[in-house]
Structure 1
Amino acid sequence: MSAPSVSTPSSPSSSGGQQQARTRVLTGITTTGTPHLGNYVGAIKPAIEASLDPNVQSFYFLADLHALIKCQDARRVQESRLEIAATWLALGLDTDNAIFYRQSDIPEIPELTWLMSCVCAKGLMNRAHAYKAAVAENEEAGNQDPDKGITMGLFGYPVLMAADILMFNANRVPVGRDQIQHIEMARDMAGRFNHLYKGDFFTLPEAVVDERVQVLNGLDGRKMSKSYNNTIPLFVGEKKLLKLVRKIKTNSLEPGEPKDPDTCTLFQIYSAFASEEETQAMRDEYAAGIGWGDAKNRVFEYLNEQLREPRERYQALLEDPGHIEQILLRGAEKAREQAAPLMDRLRVAAGLGRFV
């Protein structure tokens, strides 16, 4: 899941009181890595801007249960949870308006995952992109068992994602195109549950793909991704930042030769942070033949200045994990105020309610 967008108001079945009139947008951040510039531009920045909108009820969560699917390194998961929480807070997430929590702090979510598992057709999971890709890799490798190395976590991942969304009856879920299938699966499970138990329990969520959200390239010109080991960490120190910017791949054009900014990773990164006027000025410099060394120094200086204050806030937050913990616990409390009543209602619907 990525950055949020604005949509239509929540349905009456999704919550009570005044929040019925607020759009619900939900975004999860998987805790398996250190946030980088691409994460900031593609997800964090637009999400934080949306968190300031009083007409939107935003849910942002650390998807630490999802992290266990890919990573069994407990130390890495723990470090990533802290780093990602500190990143969002350092960059100005409004935790008074938005609900910011750890997935693992909401026990209703795994309970809802089981309820959804009991109405979800296995054939639907067989068609999940991640599962099909893993099976294809086994077949290409000549493994006799097509499910070799595939865990139930990977196979049932879309059910957990559906529970994340349906737990709070999110109207819209901002995602990349590769995640649209999971939203469609969540709709299928929600509709199936509503039908089987004859009630309007769940809002059918909609996927939001914002084509305006920029995808940054990394050091080697491919999409910036920890999978490619080509990222620039968001809050890396000045010396390391300079070293990484200087490693960004460019062509062999000499100083004085005009350069094409539209095919240049260096320019793309700069323009993702700069204003329209600053971007145009840099475009003019490219046309005039700026040397790659000068261009890289300019990009470093600009990024370093833009990130200086949030980097300082980030480091201060990392040194005070107790403060982060309290923010997340308050967020979990607010989240559970909405999750627990819905879960009580679902238990009754499924025949699991109390006797008195």
Structure 2
Amino acid sequence: MAEENISEAINASFERAVQKSNELEADLQLNPEKHRVLTGDRPTGNLHIGHYFGSLQNRVRLQNLGVETFIVIADYQVLTDRDVFKDISKFVLELTIDYLACGLDPHKFKTHIFPHSHIPELNQLLVPFLSLVSNSELSKNPTIKEEIQASGQNVINAGMYTYPVHQAADILFCKSDVVPVGKDQLPHIELTRNIAKRFNKKFKARVFREPTGLLSETPMILGLDGGQKMSKSRNNTIMIKATEDETMKAVKSAKTDSERLITYDPDNRPEVANLLRIAALASGGTPQNLAAEIGDQGAGKLKQIVTESINEHFREIRQRRAHLENNLDFVKSILREGIAESRNVAQKTLEEVRAAMNMDI
């Protein structure tokens, strides 16, 4: 009975999150200038098409609506579960190139791209924020449990447990109220809301807004193995930067099944359904219509359509990316501008925080 009650509570919490997300989306359409977006990625390598369809497209959409957008490259957070510090600087540049190639445009829109290791004022928020949460809250965070399990580490450093608090600092330093997330990230948003609420209440100040998770309508993109989320670590991806030949080779290796008639049946044929979904996202069609078009032409025809759809969709993006790779001074200038703009915002927020805590001089 207790398990049933817990399940009901989880479902009710998700339903409330969906309702808030829908209300937020409606207001973003009407009043984009009222809102601020904070989102980002860890610099662990190049982005793949799962990142693009799952989040990058949506970031560009929000930017184009006129919503001020902060993109954090979470380089400090890489230190919690990986030993890749020698490559972090390279990966920061690679991420920035992916962002710009896909349409994020800091010169045309109010978009700021920055690595959070370069925003010391942001990171100073970590100490007061840690005083507002309990060890129990951090250890029970389901996303952290999954990250710890996925890391495969025998010794878990303290940074892993404080990861959600650092994320809260990323979100709150710029007073963001919009955080695009998937369902699995909702616990982080809830903790961030609690930190904002507790700070404002404890110090009797109205410093922070309570952010809302903007849930994506794009279904999770599975990897080419068809059974797990697309991930660089699982080697089941198609990179945004891949050439057309590399894309064809990757799609050819994708797992399907032995049935010749192609149908869209996510429950019983997840691998085929995933390829149809990818082709539909790339071409603007629907998985059902693509399946009907292919009919009994089999997996070979399906993979051909997937390859052609991806290559056509990403052709201009890849061309822009190649141009940016040869203009690294421009890419670095984008980062320097983003750092300066974000630091300016962070300094003002930290001044308010110090004043609220009676620590200003």
Q: Answer whether TM exceeds 0.5 for this pair.
A: yes
Quote the residue 1:325 is aligned against: 332
Per-residue CA deviation, residues 274-299 of structure 1 (Å, 9 max, x unaligned), is 123x8665332233x11322332232
Quote the residue 1:308 is aligned against: 315
Quote the residue 2:302 is aligned against: 295
Q: For residue 283 of structure 1, what is the amino acid of its counterpart? A: A
Quote the residue 1:113 is aligned against: 126
Q: For residue 123 of structure 1, what is the amino acid of its counterpart? A: S
* Counterpart among 310, 335, 359 of residue 352 in structure 1: 359
Answer with 45-54 or 75-84: which moved more.
75-84
Tell me: CA distance 1:173–1:270, structure 2 relative to 1, closer, same or farther (3 Å). same
1:85 aligns with 2:89: no
Q: For residue 71 of structure 2, what is the amino acid of its counterpart? A: Y
Quote the residue 1:128 is aligned against: 141
Question: How far apart are residue 59 of structure 1 and its match?
Answer: 1.5
Question: How far apart are residue 230 of structure 1 and its match?
Answer: 1.0
Quote the residue 1:15 is aligned against: none
Using the aligned pairs only, state the percent identity.
30
* TM alignment of 1:15-54, pairs within 5 A: 22-54=34-66
CA contact (8 A) 1:61 1:100 kept: yes
Tell me: CA distance 1:234–1:58, structure 2 relative to 1, closer, same or farther (3 Å). same
1:240 aligns with 2:253: no
Write the distance in 2 (CA, Å) between the matches of 1:157 and 1:234.
27
CA contact (8 A) 1:44 1:88 kept: yes
Quote the residue 2:201 is aligned against: 195
* Counterpart among 270, 286, 299 of residue 279 in structure 2: 270
CA contact (8 A) 1:219 1:247 kept: yes
Question: How far apart are residue 135 of structure 1 and its match?
Answer: 7.5
* 2:68 partner SS: strand
Per-residue CA deviation, residues 75-131 of structure 1 (Å, 9 max, x unaligned), is 332232121110110111121322222222211111011121123222221222244
Which consecutive aligned stretches of 4+ in structure 1 deviate over 6 angstroms post-superposition? 134-138
Write the distance in 1 (CA, Å) between the matches of 2:343 and 2:157.
29
CA contact (8 A) 2:225 2:236 kept: yes
* 1:323 partner SS: helix
Quote the residue 1:343 is aligned against: 350
* 2:44 partner SS: coil
Q: Please list every run of 5 or more consecutive structure 2 residues that lacks an aligned counterpart in the other structure.
A: 1-20
Answer with 236-245 or 149-158: which moved more.
236-245
Tell me: CA distance 1:274–1:133, structure 2 relative to 1, closer, same or farther (3 Å). closer
Q: Please list every run of 5 or more consecutive structure 1 residues that lacks an aligned counterpart in the other structure.
A: 10-18, 142-146
1:285 aligns with 2:293: yes
CA contact (8 A) 1:130 1:154 kept: no
* 1:204 partner SS: coil
Write the distance in 2 (CA, Å) between the matches of 1:23 and 1:135.
33
Write the distance in 2 (CA, Å) between the matches of 1:177 and 1:170.
19
Count of matched residue positions in the alignment of Structure 1 and Structure 2: 329
Question: How far apart are residue 137 of structure 1 and its match?
Answer: 9.2
C-alpha RMSD of matched pairs (Å): 2.7
* TM alignment of 1:121-160, pairs within 5 A: 121-133=134-146, 149-160=155-166
Write the distance in 1 (CA, Å) between the matches of 2:27 and 2:201.
23
Q: For residue 134 of structure 2, what is the amino acid of its counterpart? A: A
Report the TM-score when normalising by structure 2.
Answer: 0.83
Question: How far apart are residue 136 of structure 1 and its match?
Answer: 7.6
Quote the residue 1:168 is aligned against: 174
Question: How far apart are residue 61 of structure 1 and its match?
Answer: 1.7
Report the TM-score when normalising by structure 1.
Answer: 0.84
Question: How far apart are residue 336 of structure 1 and its match?
Answer: 2.1
Instruction: Identify the structure with the greater helix proportion.
Output: 2
Write the distance in 1 (CA, Å) between the matches of 2:146 and 2:115.
28
Write the distance in 2 (CA, Å) between the matches of 1:330 and 1:194.
31
